[in-house]
Amino acid sequence: MRKAELRMNEQEKYEVIKELYDHGGNKYRAALKLGLTVRQIDRLLHVYRDKGKAGFVHGNRNRQPVNTLPQELTDQIVKLYTEKYQGFNFRHFTETLNEREGIKVSYKAVYTILSRSGVSSPRTQKKTKRKRAKDRLMKNKPDITGQNLEIAADHEVALENAHPRRERAKYFGELVQMDASIHLWFGSVKCALHLAIDNATGMILGGYFDVQETLSGYYTVLRQILLNYGIIYKFFTDNRTVFNYERHSRKKDEEDVLTQFGYACKILGIQLETSSVSQAKGQIERANGTFQDRLVSELRLENISTISEANDYLTELFIPDFNRRFAMDNRQFPSVIEAAPDPDRIDLILAVLSPRKTDNGSAIKYKNHYYQAYDDNDRLVCFKPKTECLVINSFDHRLFVTIDDKVYKLVELQKNQAVSESFDTPAAVSQKPKKGTIPPMSHPWKHASFVAQQKRAHQFHQYT
């Protein structure tokens, strides 16, 4: 028979009852000492007589409570929060588990599971954060006590709330931070300055003014980088489309910066990393501050009041001077930049792609105009109604459409005929508009791959 191991309170009961049973004594005194009634003392005397020391072990010792969640379910809850629902407060997360995942658990259970796993709710109060910091310090540094523990808890910052300084990249072109700064740069109306800065050297690789933060602005900066330097390794930019998706119930595909720009980067082989934390891309934020301090004054001094004049001054004078003053010579750094394609192919890559469907008249509606598809021989190509296609608006504003892995030219269908065969001269009738050349299908314009990129771009943010 196994030896009975008693806990402190159980051991005290056992010793008092054993003494009372073996040597006799006052039951009222024993009841007062143990905080029990005389009836309970009589019950314990019977337990000692029948079972001995083992009778004082609690009956639920080493038993799982009936409402304990399986370990597999506990691990699943932690994984769901950290990978899919990160940022939810715990009560919202509990409701989502019940409604979306079909996991019926209480708020208290979720709170306990996540807290024991070291996960804190975004709505955790300062008092709770400080208490957890003290517990963490006592666990990692048991020698800290008293006033030193209080001071350490006051000074410690959780890693998820801190923005520690990081080393710069080793190679030129390894990491380029990009952002847009909306400011009163010139004139009386605010506009957006799109900038890209190399992390290793601090060089400004591209800049462009636009009326607001737009896909066209980011494309222009990327085109400057490709023409002047080549294909970089990685972009690090903000998550602006996440906030737009929260504001708009139906967002136009051509305004979807995260998908459109991400798809262009995928074609070029450029990695794209995003973050909504401004401190994570502190280098470009500091550059924006320097530009706001210096560029505004210089534009005012030069009496510049239009975007076109500002862009000329920015690229021809200000950015070269900025790099000369503040950036390091990129020739002193090993480079990971690869050669860029020719300018015509760049214009095709930096395109705006929009999924569409053909109508009953074999036409495609795009930006409130109707277009028809033509092949290499300038022959009209007709398709069944509701055929899925992908309209491609290149950087230099050429329009194409891809259907079934084939590229066609798009020609606008006018509301009225430009030339009448019955009343105009034969010379005027014979004139046909030039329709341009069709790029080869080696270009990765495919409807399925674009839709896959769109889903992948917003998969992480669909629940935030």
How much is the pLDDT for 447? Answer: 65
How much is the pLDDT for 148? Answer: 65
64-68, 293-297, 311-315, 357-361: the lowest-pLDDT one: 64-68
Is pLDDT larger for residue 240 or for residue 199? Answer: 199
Residue 72 has pLDDT above 80, yes or no: yes
How much is the pLDDT for 245? Answer: 43
Which pLDDT band holds residue 242 (cuts at 50, 70, 90)? very low
Element of type H or E holding 179 = strand 176-183
Q: For residue 395, what are the contacts with CB-CB under 8 A and spacing of at least 6?
A: 219, 223, 346, 347, 348, 350, 351
CA of residue 394 relative to chain centroid, distance: 27
pLDDT digits (tens, 9 = 90+) for 155-212: 554 545 555 667 888 899 999 999 999 999 998 889 999 999 999 999 999 999 999 9
Is pLDDT larger for residue 316 or for residue 138? Answer: 316
List the structure tokens of 461: 């943010």
As a whole number, the mean pLDDT across the chain is 81
Residue 408 has pLDDT above 80, yes or no: yes
Distance CA 53, CA 152 (A): 47
pLDDT digits (tens, 9 = 90+) for 365-399: 998 899 999 988 888 999 999 998 889 999 989 99
Q: For residue 436, what are the contacts with CB-CB under 8 A and spacing of at least 6?
A: 398, 409
How much is the pLDDT for 378? Answer: 85
Residue 25 has pLDDT above 70, yes or no: yes
Which pLDDT band holds residue 436 (cuts at 50, 70, 90)? low
How much is the pLDDT for 311? Answer: 95
How much is the pLDDT for 178? Answer: 93
DSSP 280: G
Question: What's this model's pTM, rounded to 2 decimal places?
Answer: 0.61
List the structure tokens of 100: 């979306």
Residue 459 has pLDDT above 70, yes or no: no
In this prediction, residues 426-453 reach a mean pLDDT of 63
How much is the pLDDT for 121? Answer: 72
DSSP 97: I
How much is the pLDDT for 314? Answer: 94
* H runs (alpha helix) in 119-239: 126-140, 146-155, 215-228
Residue 279 has pLDDT above 60, yes or no: yes
Residue 443 has pLDDT above 70, yes or no: no
Contact (Cβ atoms closer than 8 angstroms) between residue 327 and residue 201? yes
List the structure tokens of 264: 């262009």
Is pLDDT larger for residue 243 or for residue 265? Answer: 265
Is pLDDT larger for residue 64 or for residue 102? Answer: 102
How much is the pLDDT for 223? Answer: 95
Decide the pairing of beta strands 234-238 and 369-374.
unpaired
- Smallest CA-to-CA distance from 352 within 339, 368, 366, 341 is with 366
In this prediction, residues 9-36 reach a mean pLDDT of 87
Is pLDDT larger for residue 322 or for residue 152? Answer: 322
In this prediction, residues 272-282 reach a mean pLDDT of 79
Look at the alpha carbons of 454, 455, 459, 461 in this order and tell me if their dihedral is positive or negative. Answer: positive
